[in-house]
């Protein structure tokens, strides 16, 4: 593995015969979906559920950690966290998203979380949906324009700290001391660089707990949908009446806000989801890591993943009609 700090840009390769930008074709353009949020906010969990619903064979996964300029050790030497835009190759990121949007394949090295170094170059082919996840998906207006649907995950600080500590220790091999050591600088950079992206998102998923010691089962979830996401949901709001007061819907200006109750019934979510996705698997969609490390399923999480996948379907069909 290469652990050096080279900032050389990997070549963007496209096979012969690929469609050039501006060429006419009967195939619709890929749909670019971004799931963005702070470290530990649940991006990988949400992406797994959305990919399962859409179909893995139709999805290209783009991990924005692969666009880090420096290895973990090099960032530590420079006193920079992975949340700082200075350690990301944003121009290459934008170039690659545009290539994928135009059905072109890309090549980039993979970032290895196990040791913070970079693996060999990998090739990604453009499929129907380009599913992008990472810390800095749309920090600039130019990058924001690359997405057809932008989602931001926004746990409150106390909850985020709990989730990040759990994930980094249990699945990424960090010691608890290591996580605690870097959390202060992490929080400062998150506030400056990551959180402002919420204002650019079409959908913001806000998680809160009533008090610090409250278990994950008491997490309160609020979804705010804006612009095209709010418009796409408008015709489907009536379908949420089946949930009664467990899902409360109201408007804040042009935005649509959904508040998901902690007593959201799993059986009702399953029925609602299967009407939209016959292949819906309640053991996968909505799945997450419990506080004791085991596998659990939350109906609120399943609802979010189904809604994102459904919005992707609806908005993609609108885009298809424009092509």
User: Cβ contacts of residue 56 below 8 Å, gap of 6+?
Assistant: none
pTM across the whole model: 0.85
| Extended strands (E) in the chain | 31-37, 59-63, 106-112, 117-124, 129-134, 149-155, 203-208, 220-225, 247-252, 255-260, 287-289, 295-297
4 strand-pairing partners: none
CB 100 within 8 A of CB 126: yes
**Residue 135 falls in which region: left (phi positive, over 0), alpha (psi -120 to 50) or beta:** alpha
| Residue 7 structure tokens | 């900032």
CA distance 90 to 112: 19
User: Cβ contacts of residue 211 below 8 Å, gap of 6+?
Assistant: none
pLDDT of residue 257: 96
pLDDT of residue 2: 41
pLDDT of residue 65: 96
* Per-block mean pLDDT, blocks of 10 residues, the chain (323 long): 40 38 60 94 93 96 97 93 95 97 95 91 97 97 96 86 65 62 78 95 91 75 95 86 93 94 93 94 84 78 96 81 44
Residue 323: other Cβ atoms inside 10 A: 10
pLDDT of residue 33: 98
Question: How is residue 192 annotated by DSSP?
Answer: I
Closest CA to 263 of 241, 247, 283, 281: 247
CB 247 within 8 A of CB 299: no
CA distance 297 to 226: 27
Give the torsion sign (CA, 3, 191, 156, 304).
Answer: negative
CB 83 within 8 A of CB 194: yes
CB 1 within 8 A of CB 84: no
């Amino acid at each position: 593995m290469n652990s050096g700090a080279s900032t050389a840009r990997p070549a963007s390769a496209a096979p012969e015969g690929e469609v050039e930008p501006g060429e006419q074709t009967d195939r619709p353009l890929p749909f670019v979906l971004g799931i963005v949020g702070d470290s530990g906010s649940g991006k990988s969990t949400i992406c797994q559920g959305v990919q399962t619903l859409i179909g893995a064979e139709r999805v290209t996964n783009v991990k924005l950690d692969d666009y880090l300029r420096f290895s973990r050790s090099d960032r530590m030497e420079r006193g920079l966290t992975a949340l700082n835009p200075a350690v990301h190759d944003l121009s290459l990121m934008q170039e690659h998203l545009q290539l994928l949007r135009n059905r072109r394949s890309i090549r980039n090295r993979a970032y290895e979380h196990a040791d913070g170094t970079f693996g060999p170059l990998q090739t990604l082919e453009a499929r129907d949906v380009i599913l992008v996840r990472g810390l800095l998906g749309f920090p600039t207006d130019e990058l924001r324009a690359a997405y057809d649907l932008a989602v931001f995950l926004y746990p409150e600080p106390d909850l985020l700290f709990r989730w990040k500590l759990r994930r980094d220790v249990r699945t990424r091999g960090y010691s608890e001391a290591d996580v605690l050591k870097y959390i202060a600088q992490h929080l400062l950079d998150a506030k400056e660089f990551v959180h402002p992206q919420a204002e650019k998102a079409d959908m913001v998923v806000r998680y809160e707990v009533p008090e610090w010691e409250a278990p994950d089962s008491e997490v309160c979830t609020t979804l705010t949908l804006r612009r095209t996401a709010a418009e796409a949901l408008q015709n489907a709001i009536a379908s949420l009446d089946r949930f009664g007061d467990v899902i409360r819907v109201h408007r804040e200006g042009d935005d649509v806000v959904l508040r998901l109750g902690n007593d959201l019934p799993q059986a009702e979510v399953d029925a609602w989801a299967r009407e939209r996705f016959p292949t819906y698997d309640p053991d996968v969609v909505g799945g997450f890591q419990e506080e004791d490390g085991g596998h659990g399923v939350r109906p609120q999480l399943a609802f979010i993943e189904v809604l994102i996948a459904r919005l992707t379907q609806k908005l993609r069909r609108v885009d298809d009609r424009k092509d």
